[in-house]
Amino acid sequence: MTRTLLPPDVDRSYGRCARRHNASTRGKGVSPMLTSTQIENIDRVFAMIDSSGDGRVTWDDFETLTRGIAEELGRDSKSTEIAELSAAYHGVWEYVSAAADLDQDGAVTRDEFRKAHSTQALSAGLLLDKWLVAADRCFDAADRDGHGYLTEDALAGVYRAGGITDRQVASAAFQAMDVNSNGRVDKAEFSANVRGLFEAVDKSMKGARMIG
């Protein structure tokens, strides 16, 4: 997905208050202010990727995540859907590692990950675009029958693959996504909540509690 990126001081991930803060501190060596909700979600995303739980993310963690999704959803690891998901995750990893792996040891620590967000070494707009591509590929992999929607069970499988085994978390996320209460989530509803996960500045906003 291609979109015109806004300059850092008007990047939508930080909301109106943060935009004003960014404008006032631009050129003064002060990092943009992240809200507590943003920091919590940055840490949750990191924990979801960090399959080994060692506080470091490498490409191996993304591969483990991809294999887990394939296994949970009953997909052949060599299927088109899983290959496309792996390619999308590789796009995320290449961008994140280039911006956040400060000591170039092939791994991104939790501190490096958070710092890259707070200093905007990772452009919120560019990173969101890459995550949205990955989310679309993940949805396609979970949509086994190609009907264009996910059941709660399918969504729970995706969550388990990401290490989120508490069914209540997946259930709460599903209910929040299913805005028309028809018992299923389409790609637009799923993507809107993924977007919110990265853009929400407080817990009341769409997607803010998507993974916890």
pLDDT of residue 32: 63
Orientation of helix 187-199 relative to helix 124-142, angle to 10° = 150
Residue 25 lies in a domain: no
Residue 30 lies in a domain: no
Q: Tell me the average pLDDT across 91-111.
A: 97
Residue 24 lies in a domain: no
Residue 210 lies in a domain: no
Report the domain count for the chain.
Answer: 1
Residue 13 lies in a domain: no
Please state, in angstroms and rounded to a whole number, the distance separating the CA atoms of residues 144 and 204.
Answer: 32
Q: Tell me the average pLDDT across 4-16.
A: 38
Domain of residue 195, residue span:
35-199
Quick check: helix, strand or coil at residue 108?
Answer: strand
pLDDT mean across residues, the chain? 87
The tens digit of pLDDT for each residue in 126-155 reads 999 999 999 999 999 999 999 999 999 999
Residue 5 lies in a domain: no
Question: With 50 as the cut, is the pLDDT of residue 205 above it?
Answer: yes
CATH code for the domain of 152 = 1.10.238.10
Residue 2 lies in a domain: no
State pTM to two decimals.
0.82
Residue 14 lies in a domain: no
Local confidence band at 14 (pLDDT 50, 70, 90 cut-offs): very low
Question: With 90 as the cut, is the pLDDT of residue 170 above it?
Answer: yes
Which run of H or of E encompasses 202? Answer: none
Q: Tell me the average pLDDT across 78-104.
A: 97
Closest CA relative to residue 123, chosen from 148, 157, 105, 98: 98
Closest CA relative to residue 190, chosen from 149, 153, 157, 129: 149
The tens digit of pLDDT for each residue in 42-83 reads 999 999 999 999 999 999 999 999 999 999 999 999 999 999
